[in-house]
Structure 1
Amino acid sequence: METISFGTDGWRATLEEFTTPRVRMVGQAVATYLRDEGRDGTVAVGYDARETSRGFAEELARVLCANGFDVIVPERDRPTPLVAHAIVERDLLGGFAITASHNPPEYNGVKFIPDDGAPALPAVTDAIADRLAEPEPLPEDEHGTVEEVDLAAPHADAALERVDEITGSTDLSGLTVAYDAMHGSGRGTTDALLERAGASLELLRCERDPEFGGGAPEPAPENLETLIDLVTDDATDPDLGVANDGDADRLAIVTPERGYLDENLFFAALYDYLLEGDSGPAVRTVSTTFLIDRVADAHGEAVHEVPVGFKWVAQGIAEHDALVGGEESGGFTVRGHVREKDGVLMALLAAAMHAEEPLDERVDRLLEEHGTVVQNKISVACPDHEKARVLEDLEGEIPDAVAGTDVEDVNTADGFKLQLADGSWVLVRPSGTEPVLRVYAEATDEERVEALLEAGEELVEPLV
């Protein structure tokens, strides 16, 4: 039980720790939690493309059925946002996703999504953690059933409808999109949605490979070199590149001029686009660019800053009826859709935006209007059990200035965000999924960002 802990987005661990008995304990904990809440009905259990994921999903289904709940499962690995959508569409009690998202193949994970389709808040995950126990089956005549269902078609219908509402018409005919599934669960889902909208496709890594080609299904620039070369080469056809992470809840965008489009810049372009036809605030995490705030100011809107973790973004969207919510790691959703990050929906919306006006042109215009923004991050190794102690020690080491610029404010919503007199900032926070501390920095040029990251690293490393 001590091994099982719910971080930023569920419990993830290497397969040495993420074992069948422990997964069954999580299933029993959720079954007990739902029963204690007086809930009765159906639970979804989805899973990603990892070698062990289907088996873990079947174990969860057995535990839930033995506790009297009916279970639906997809016919194959499918993106996590499809599970979240099914929960809301089918009025389910909640659902599981067996996934380690972007982590390497030696990891797996599980997240529980409550009945609102948004990531579970601590009140729920704490209640689940308190109920971890060996499975306690009911008599066989009280067991539930398992049904295999199609999660893709209903989600695709909803995504097309929502993007139609936003854009006026989702017609991607004439647009060629290069799609990189990174061997993950977006294959046959994201590309199928884009094709249904009329786009021509060039596919990369759209075959299932539980080892993800020997790497991690993380859509970072260094892992998307083939996609970037394809889209930026004048001799090739793609107008736009899209990639998903392993469970397709996040996305990366590649444009002809910029290559890899920084997620912060895409978020700003997305919000600016949405505000052309609608109104409302944005919700962003503490690690996401202030450029969102500048876009909001230009339109007379507000921005609400929340801790890192899409559960906080989703909560902020609900509290403020936000038009959009997102994070610098490529997770976004929009008003009128499920409050879970959705890399499938966003791939369609990004392509529709690009079909109307090239994303490079919109970003150029935003930067000309609001100023250049550069952001980067690094990781400092730190064992999970030391994170709290390091942050406690850091509180007493906050400097008056960083890289020669005065600290004007310290935001402690998630770690320590040092806001500097020149408008730049440095953030130090613990990762919720890896044994590291993250150091983020934002400024007006890369040289300044590197100086801030170096200063942040020098501040943290002696404390680890």
Structure 2
Amino acid sequence: MQPVKFGTGGWREIIADGFTRYNVRRIAQALADRMRDEDVVGEGVVVGYDRRFLSGEAAWWAVEVLIGNNIPVTVVDKPVPTPMIMWTVRNKNTPYGLCVTASHNPALYNGIKLFTRGGRDADVAVTDSFTEQVNGLSGDDVRAVEPEEARASDLVTVQTSINWYLDSIIDELDMETIRHRHLHIVLDPMFGVAQTSLQTILLTARCQVDVINERHDPLFGGRVPSPTEGTLESLKHAVVERGADLGIATDGDADRLGIIDDTGRFLHPNEILVLLYHYLLTKKGWQGPAVRNMSTTHLLDRVARAHGQECHEVPVGFKHISAKMTETDAVIGGESSGGLTVRGHLPGKDGIYAGSLLVEMVAASEKPLSVIYQDLVDEYGRLVMLERSYTMTAKRRAELEQRIFVDHDLPEFPVEVDRISWSDGGKVYFAGDGWVTIRFSGTEPVLRVFCEMPDEEQAQAIIDQIAATYGLE
């Protein structure tokens, strides 16, 4: 029996290996037991799912168990963005919510994200204890009803509308300004769940919207459903060929964002985060700090300092960002992988809202997106981040964990080291502008290296040295 492990972005496993009906049912039973222990059974659970293979079926596997434990369930019974499930948890004030998704992982994965009251990603204390609860259960401990009984149960509320979620975003936007710019936007949902949500919002704002890669394809067109520079070639070409103002892409469950500007250039999520923070401070008059994780650009710090604000650094995992935002009343929080949120919206990343807010920024600026970004660079300077991922076996991982994170065996870097942090993997801060992080992914069997320096040559030299030191390929 393969143990279940909830990481920084929930539980994710290869379909038919770790992601099985047996494990999904154990997770649902553990949640039911937890709710009984907390005396919140009557407050119910929200369950949703994305477009991945077996997502809809797995959602109902979980419902069958929850109903077997007499827990009311609201099932959003259509593929929807993960942030919509988070919004529903908050709107209905349920203590927990589940979404069947593996987010941006490759197509052979599926998984479950766990949310707590307020629509928050479950924090480490919850996921650690929950993991222990799940792995303490066997199949004999699961109490479930038959599928037909679950679907007919009075404890089940089936919801198919997403309009409440969309209206909440529309209410937060300056729709009047967007309407009068008549922007032309190409949308790439990457075969995921974003099309209906983003297209509805943008068409309501009188934008011209072209959509590519919209069909239901559990293999995601043969790509990893993550909006990176390497996966958005078709969107780049579409923006340039159609003379669009920008292109918007979202990952498989629509909580992460990728942007192509009017010239066909990919805007790194770091750049999007800094642009939106600058926009909220300078154009909308907001005040407050920013929050980023340890592998996200320090250019955000420059913008914060220039406006008398602070930028807080937290470990990887959006739960840490949302918690710090609440603590500090931050304006914005985000990560270099494409997730961000803004004060007053969800306490979790939302690619639908972030993309819509970026459209508002372009409309209000009355400049092409490429010019808006160049203006930012002219004011605050440029930092270049490179990132690499190295897949490895469990044995190789154990070797490197000992060598790097226990023995602290680091390369001799060609630049002066200011300090080193081991709070979440390892982060080396160089004197002046520059840093590098080394950490294992919480959702995939890979070692991730992020390096940000004043120019690409310096960043590449640091990454090459790390790869050579540890024999990474």
TM over 0.5: yes
- Counterpart position of 1:84: 86
Whole-Å separation in 2 of the counterparts to 1:426 and 1:266: 21
Give the secondary-structure state (helix, strand or coil) at the position aligned to 2:6: coil
- 1:70 corresponds to which of 59, 69, 72: 72
Q: Which residue is equivalent to 1:393?
A: 403
The CA deviation string for residues 294-340 of structure 1, in whole angstroms up to 9 with x for no partner, is 00011000011001111111111111111100000100000001101
Opposite residue 463 of structure 2, the aligned amino acid is L
**Equivalence for 2:274:** 268
- What 5-or-longer segments of structure 1 have no aligned partner? none
**Among candidates 221, 228, 234, match of residue 226 of structure 1:** 234
DSSP-derived class of the 2:121 partner:
coil
Q: Which shows bigger deviation, 74-83 or 354-363?
A: 354-363
What pairs with 1:60-459 in structure 2 (closer than 5 Å)?
Answer: 60-132=62-134, 133=137, 134=139, 135-137=141-143, 145-164=155-174, 169-171=177-179, 174-233=182-241, 236-257=242-263, 259-276=265-282, 277-357=285-365, 358-384=368-394, 387=397, 390-395=400-405, 396-399=407-410, 401-402=412-413, 404-459=414-469
Contact 1:252–1:330 under 8 Å retained in 2: yes
CA shift in 2, pair 1:33/1:386, >3 Å: farther
- 1:50 Cα shift? 1.2
Relative distance call for 1:388 and 1:124 in structure 2 (3 A) is: farther
Distance, in Å, in 2 between the alignment partners of 1:456 and 1:151 is 49
SS in 1 for 2:390: strand
Q: Deviations over 1:419-457 (max 9, x none)?
A: 112421111011111111111111122111111111122
Of 300-309 and 204-213, deviating more is 204-213
Instruction: Give, in whole Å, the separation in 2 of the partners of 1:385 and 1:352.
Output: 49
Asked if the contact 1:296/1:302 (under 8 Å) is kept, the reply is: yes
Q: For 2:180 and 2:75, how far apart are their aligned partners in 1? A: 31
Offset from partner CA, 1:21-54 (integer Å, 9 cap, x none)? 1100000011111111111222111101012100
Q: Secondary structure at the match of 2:214?
A: coil
2:30 corresponds to 1:29: yes
- Residues 58-78 of structure 1, C-alpha deviations (whole Å, 9 max, x = no match): 001111111111111223100
TM-score (norm 1): 0.93
- For the residues of structure 2 that align with 1:172 and 1:106, how far apart are their CA atoms? 43
Query: Quick one: distance in 2 between partners of 1:399 and 1:29?
Result: 41
Work out whether residues 262 and 369 of structure 2, in 8 Å CA contact, stay in contact via their aligned partners in 1: no
Report the TM-score when normalising by structure 2: 0.92
Distance 2:329 2:398 in 1: 33
- Contact 1:67-1:136 at 8 Å conserved across structures: no
| Counterpart Cα distance in 2 of 1:299 and 1:349 | 21
Unaligned runs of 5+ in 2: none
Give the whole-Å Cα distance in 2 for the aligned partners of 1:436 and 1:318: 31
Residue 12 of structure 1 pairs with residue 12 of structure 2 = yes
- More deviation in 404-413 or 453-462? 453-462
CA contact (8 A) 2:97 2:116 kept: yes
Q: Distance in 2 between matches of 1:168 and 1:400?
A: 54
Q: Give the number of equivalent residue pairs.
A: 458
| Cα separation, 1, equivalents of 2:142 and 2:224 | 36
- Identify the residue that residue 39 of structure 2 maps to in structure 1: 38
| Cα RMSD, aligned residues only | 2.2
Please give the alpha-carbon distance, in whole angstroms, between the structure 2 residues aligned to 1:378 and 1:91: 40
Shift of 1:413: 2.5
Structure 1 residue 368: deviation in Å? 1.3
Q: State the secondary structure of the residue aligned to 2:133.
A: coil
Residues in 2 aligned to 1:171 and 1:93: alpha-carbon distance in whole angstroms: 38
The answer as to whether partners of 1:173 and 1:200 remain within 8 angstroms in 2 is no
Contact in 2 for aligned 1:439/1:457 (Cα 8 Å): no
Give how far 1:397 is off. 4.5
CA shift digits 1:217-240 (9 cap, x unpaired) = 11112211111012234xx23111
